[in-house]
Amino acid sequence: MVVNYHRSTQDAQLLQQELNDLRAGSAVLARADLLKPGSWSQLVKDVVTAFGRLDALINNASSFYPTPVGEIDEQAWDDLVGTNMKAPLFLSQAAAPELRKVQGCIINIIDIHAELPLRNHLVYSAAKGGLLALTRALARELGPQIRVNGVSPGTIVWPEGPTWQNDIERQRIVNQTVLKRSGEPADIAGAVEFLISAPYVTGQILAVDGGRSIAV
């Protein structure tokens, strides 16, 4: 596994150590700013150099912060659309030749707010909506050699910021789920693992949200 990071060096190193403790030599790090042209092809080269092949691409990088109407600027647009839609597109394009060799797959981490827009997060919601459409379009473009699917998390890890640290607000959101609880990172990992191992599934978006998307 190659773990891409940009600025979070310490967190990436801790994850690498955790993975290598489970299986020695299984994880390496690759630093890349996915908003920079050229980073996508270099990242693919780093993977092939480290392991000789690329079996699966997980597009998980994301920026997240509010952009209320009237306060949206081009910097926020470039950042939010860049990390949540542009980077997955160009990284998928760069990875496609290697993935075709092994009948590999791409999994995009989307968000239930791609279809249920989050108030005051217009650009983020629009970017994730674009990623949802991109997932289905890539499945058609890259098949039959490459499968492309998406996972849409609900409430898994609470974002930073005062709004999300408020216990009343958290409980209100949890109450909107069918299961009446938040999820865990392992729930997303399990969904990704399933989609990697499902050879007859492509172009699908799997909501992992405790039923929130059907309860509101």
**Catalytic residue positions, numbered:** 124
DSSP 14-74: HHHHHHHHHSTT--EEEE--TTSTTHHHHHHHHHHHHHS---EEEE-------B-TTS--H
Cβ proximity of 202 and 150 under 8 Å? no
How far apart, in whole angstroms, are the C-alpha atoms of residue 195 and residue 40? 23
Please count the other Cβ atoms lying within 10 Å of the Cβ belonging to residue 6.
Answer: 15
DSSP 84: I
